[in-house]
């Protein structure tokens, strides 16, 4: 079996403690070992940061269009190896193959989009209050960026962070989830092959210790973290003590509203995809569905019927519609939420247990689970299960649906199905979320649009789009006085 290593300063190297490793297994069949990866510590993170700092001096001076050329080549390589990467992703973290292909395609799209920003890192020129003086603002790189990414989008999310950071002239230390290290390794290999100079991107495998060391490191200028709100608070606290830039993309408790005038077939398809796509392991997954009472029973019956028919199994099989949860801890977490919902009085309509059957006994498979009779005070209404669990609730009207949607400490994604443009516009205006879809599910972000949320979903920053450049660049104001004499702003203008 291949020996998996860290990538520091352009070389594949073992962790300082060579005997420390962790296993990466297939969640569909835990008998399959994907590989053993180094369990890195603070010493390894320090080496990676030093390599990134050394490379920064020259990378920041590389013309942005040249940086874009390298990112564009990486995008072409990702496209060329899309099938290989997708199959690895399905084996490593479980999502079905067509979703894995979509994950890689998102990284391809981000490369194509961000590479063009090398010629569009626009600043502003404006007027001066004084004669013979020009003023402008320009983007400058921040320095060394620490990227901490989750396992559910193991190629797409790294691309959302790495490509904008690179185009701005920063160097990187990348700490991926220990549930998807093989995909991270391939991502870095592709960037190196595309021509990224040694030290510009550094990969450090490991768990909490490595991530914490990266956050605390004095020579890391910005942390970009995607994960749970609980861990995000700890990251923000550590960065705040050090006055370090910090971008957080955290949890969600996303709602889909279905009004009585909606195309019910379309709304059903969207709800099923939003709730059970990626086995519910998306921060944008649909976990609450508010249905106008006139169509509630019809929607409930059909939704439950279709949920029960979803085919579960290895995502490598073309007929499978939903893969496993990523690991045993996640399976136990999801089942705990199910048991809590039952104990609090919610009605279990279907699912609620580990899936059994041919080919499922060695994986972390869980049944698509639907609850009704859920009240706003219940745990399932308020907390993110991050699995294939959804609750259906009847509402009188749009006002009640929006009120319940907003009755959450999260505010990432939202959705409304209606044929009434006035209702749609009210939902867009009044829902407290970073994303609102009209006649579409709560999942399906596009790379040229800002991605992020409000409340406990993050700390106000956005990824993707041109907004994704903000956390990775500094604004510098420039004043050019060609008058040949001392001019005193605000004084000589009197």
Catalytic machinery residues: 249, 283
Crossing angle (nearest 10°) for helices 64-80 and 156-167 = 160
DSSP 81-140: THHHHHHHHHHHH---HHHHHHHHHHHHHHHHHHHHGGG----EEE--SSTTEEEEEEEE
- How far apart CA 287 and CA 281 sit, in angstroms, is 11
The encoded tokens of residue 255 equal: 């709602």
245 three-state secondary structure? strand
- How far apart CA 404 and CA 401 sit, in angstroms, is 5
Residues whose CB falls within 8 Å of the CB of residue 40, separated by 6 or more in sequence, listed in order: 6, 15, 16, 204, 205, 206, 209, 210
Q: Do the Cβ atoms of 174 and 162 come closer than 8 Å? A: yes
- How far apart CA 148 and CA 250 sit, in angstroms, is 12
CB count within 10 Å of CB 80 equals 12
Looking up tokens 């860290």, which residue turns up?
A: 6
Q: Do the Cβ atoms of 279 and 312 come closer than 8 Å? A: no
């Amino acid at each position: 079996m291949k020996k998996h290593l860290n990538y520091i300063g352009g070389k594949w190297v073992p962790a300082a403690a060579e005997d420390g490793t962790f296993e990466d297994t297939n969640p569909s069949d835990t008998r399959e070992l994907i590989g053993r990866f180094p369990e890195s510590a603070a010493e390894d993170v320090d080496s990676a940061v030093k390599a990134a700092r050394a490379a920064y001096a020259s990378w920041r001076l590389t013309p942005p269009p040249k940086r874009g050329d390298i990112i564009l080549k990486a995008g072409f390589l990702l496209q060329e190896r899309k099938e290989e990467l997708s199959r690895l992703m399905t084996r490593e973290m479980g999502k079905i193959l067509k979703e894995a292909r979509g994950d890689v395609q998102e990284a391809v799209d981000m490369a194509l989009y961000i590479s063009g920003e090398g010629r569009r890192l626009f600043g502003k020129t404006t007027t001066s209050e004084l004669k013979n003086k020009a003023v402008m603002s320009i983007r400058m790189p921040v320095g060394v960026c620490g990227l901490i990414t989750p396992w559910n989008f193991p190629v797409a999310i790294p691309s959302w962070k790495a490509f904008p950071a690179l185009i701005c002239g920063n160097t990187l230390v990348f700490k991926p989830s220990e549930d998807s290290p093989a995909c991270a390794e391939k991502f870095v290999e592709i960037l190196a092959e595309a021509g990224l100079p040694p030290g510009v991107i550094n990969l450090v495998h490991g768990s909490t210790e490595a991530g914490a060391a990266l956050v605390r490191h004095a020579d890391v200028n910005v942390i970009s973290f995607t994960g749970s709100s609980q861990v995000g608070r700890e990251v923000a606290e550590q960065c705040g003590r050090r006055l370090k830039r910090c971008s957080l993309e955290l949890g969600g408790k996303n709602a889909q509203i279905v009004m009585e005038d909606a195309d019910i077939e379309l709304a059903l398809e969207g709800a099923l995809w939003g709730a059970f796509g990626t086995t519910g392991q998306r921060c944008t997954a649909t976990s609450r569905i508010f249905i106008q009472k006139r169509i509630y029973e019809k929607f409930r019956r059909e939704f439950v019927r279709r949920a029960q028919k979803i085919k579960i199994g290895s995502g490598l099989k073309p007929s499978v519609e939903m893969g496993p949860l990523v690991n045993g801890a996640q399976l136990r977490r999801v089942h705990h939420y199910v048991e809590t919902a039952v104990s609090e009085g919610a009605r279990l309509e279907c699912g609620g247990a580990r899936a059994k059957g041919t080919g499922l006994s060695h994986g972390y498979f869980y049944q698509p689970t639907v609850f009704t009779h859920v009240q706003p005070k219940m745990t399932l209404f308020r907390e993110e299960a991050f699995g294939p669990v959804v609750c259906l609730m009847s509402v009188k009207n749009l006002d009640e649906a929006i009120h319940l949607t907003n009755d959450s400490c999260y505010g990432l994604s939202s959705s409304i199905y209606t044929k009434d443009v006035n209702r749609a516009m009210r939902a867009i205006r009044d829902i407290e979320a970073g994303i609102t879809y009209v006649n579409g599910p709560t999942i399906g972000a596009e790379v040229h649009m800002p991605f992020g949320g409000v409340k406990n979903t993050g700390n106000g920053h956005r990824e993707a789009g041109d907004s994704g450049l903000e956390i990775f660049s500094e604004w510098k104001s420039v004043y050019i006085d060609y008058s040949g004499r001392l001019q005193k702003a605000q004084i000589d203008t009197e």
